[in-house]
């Protein structure tokens, strides 16, 4: 039986994954983009897309998308770096 994600060309899944990898905040980009609501929303939406295209659970896709919307609305903000 064919999985839903197998109905799409592999190239589409690879492109979505590549986009997500470029948007993910890492140790080098964290301080620059941690409070940028558009960047954070884009990171979360690309994560939702990757989950959807790779057969992830719809619950995970919805959670990523909902979190992205909260960032765009300003309902979520960066908590800052933890103090040691």
Q: What is residue 8's predicted lDDT score, i.e. its pLDDT?
A: 86
pLDDT digits (tens, 9 = 90+) for 26-39: 888 888 888 999 99
Say what percent of the chain tops pLDDT 70: 88
Q: What is residue 62's predicted lDDT score, i.e. its pLDDT?
A: 98
Residues of the chain with pLDDT under 70: 1-6, 81-84
Q: What is residue 2's predicted lDDT score, i.e. its pLDDT?
A: 57
State the DSSP string of the chain.
Answer: ---GGGGS-HHHHHHHHHHHHHHS--TTTHHHHTT-HHHHHHHHHHHHHHHHHTT--HHHHHHHHHHHHHHHHT------PPP-
């Amino acid at each position: 039986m064919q999985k839903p994600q197998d109905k799409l060309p592999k190239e589409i899944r690879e492109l979505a994954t590549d986009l997500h990898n470029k948007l993910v905040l890492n140790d080098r980009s964290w301080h620059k983009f941690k409070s940028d609501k558009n960047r954070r929303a884009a990171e979360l939406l690309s994560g939702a897309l990757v989950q959807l295209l790779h057969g992830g659970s719809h619950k995970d896709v919805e959670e990523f998308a909902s979190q992205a919307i909260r960032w765009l609305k300003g309902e979520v903000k960066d908590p800052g770096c933890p103090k040691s």
